[in-house]
Amino acid sequence: MAKQRIIEIWVGIFVAAGFAALFGLAMQVSNIPVFQTTQGYDVHLRFDNVGGLRVRAPVTMAGVRIGRVKSIELDPARYDAVVTITIEERFDRIPEDTSAAIYTSGLLGEQYIALDPGGTDWFLEPGDEIALTQSALVLERLIGRFLTSMGESDD
């Protein structure tokens, strides 16, 4: 019977490890929004165009990650994108007139939001909105514009 018990314990370990691995894959590797637990405060940004920005993309300041994109929604009244970002608690002294831009890391990398600090003594509060934003550069539009200008100069 002792042998049977060892077998049972091993099977228990096996099944637990299997489910732990599945759990790990779900939590650590993929993006189940329900389980996100970035501690911090939310700030809203408005963009004309977010390009390829994704939820959970990093938010940086001076190249250092200080938060993540929480959600991206369309404002049905103004036809622009409202991006909510979560900034980590410890970065609570960000000037109110900070500006935001969407950049691409490398030529083909993912897109992220870069914050450029302003100079006032007033700091961002949870729920505030950053007014100064610069939309993503959409590659096709750039190329299109470039080609048209080329065509015009050829004439």
Partner 1 sequence: MLRLFGLLGEKTLNSLGRLGRGTQFLLRALVGVPALVLRPGLVVQQLYAIGVLSLLIIVVSGTFVGMVLALQGYNTLVNFGAEQSLGVLVALSLLRELGPVVTALLFAGRAGSALTAEIGLMKTTEQLSGMEMMAVDPIKRVIAPRLLAGFLSMPLLAAIFSFLGIMGAYVVSAFALGVDEGSFWSQMQAAVDFREDVLNGVIKSLVFGFVASWIAVYEGCDATPTSEGVSRATTRTVVHTSLAVLGLDFVLTAVMFG
- Binding stretches for partner 1 (CB under 8 A): 4, 7-8, 10-11, 13-15, 17-19, 21-22, 24-26, 28-32, 54-58, 65, 68, 105-110
Q: How far is the CB of 39 from partner 1 (least distance, A)?
A: 16
Pick between residue 31 and residue 148 the one whose CB is nearest to partner 1: 31
Smallest gap from Cβ 5 to partner 1, in A, equals 11
Contacts of 115 (CB under 8 A, 6+ apart): 59, 60, 61, 66, 94, 98, 99, 100, 130
Q: CB-based contacts of 43: which residues, under 8 Å, 6+ apart?
A: 84, 85, 87, 124, 126, 127, 128, 129, 130
CB of 121 to partner 1, least distance (A): 31
Quick one: 24 or 127, whose CB is closer to partner 1? 24
Q: Which is nearer to partner 1, 36 or 149 (CB)?
A: 36
Type of residue numbered 133: T
To partner 1, the closest distance from the beta carbon of 119 in angstroms equals 28
Nearer to partner 1, 105 or 149 (CB): 105
Q: Which residues contact 88 (CB under 8 A, 6 or more apart)?
A: 38, 39, 40, 66, 67
Least distance (Å) between residue 4 CB and partner 1: 8
Rounded to 5°, the CA angle 40-122-82 comes to 50
Tokens 């080609």 belong to which residue?
A: 147
Q: Please say which residue, 58 or 95, places its beta carbon nearer to partner 1.
A: 58
